[in-house]
Amino acid sequence: MTLILFNKPYGVLCQFTDAGTDGSRPTLSQYIDLPGVYPAGRLDLDSEGLLLLTDDGRLQARIADPTYKTEKTYLAQVEGEIGDEALAKLRRGVQLKDGLTRPADAERIDDPQLWPRDPPIRFRKSVPDSWLSLTISEGRNRQVRRMTAAVGHGTLRLVRWRIGEWSLDGIEPGGWRKV
Instruction: Quote the distance between the C-alpha of residue 151 and its chain's center.
Output: 18
Could you tell me the fold of the domain covering 71-163? Alpha-Beta Plaits (3.30.70)
Separation between Cα atoms, residue 102 and residue 109, nearest integer Å:
21
pTM of the model: 0.94
Alpha-carbon torsion 109, 78, 97, 87, what sign? positive
The CATH code of domain 3-65+165-178 reads 3.30.70.580
C-alpha torsion 64→69→73→79, nearest 10? 90
Catalytic residue among 18, 44, 55, 56: 44
Domain ranges of the chain: 3-65+165-178, 71-163
pLDDT per residue as tens, the chain (179 positions): 999 999 999 999 999 888 766 778 899 999 999 989 999 988 999 999 999 999 998 988 888 877 778 899 999 999 999 999 999 999 999 999 999 999 999 999 999 999 999 888 887 778 899 999 999 998 888 999 999 999 999 999 999 999 999 999 999 999 999 99
Which residues fall within 8 angstroms of residue 131, CB to CB, at 6 or more apart?
75, 76, 77, 78, 108, 109, 110, 111, 112
56 is a catalytic site residue: no
Q: How far apart, in whole angstroms, are the C-alpha atoms of residue 148 and residue 132?
A: 10
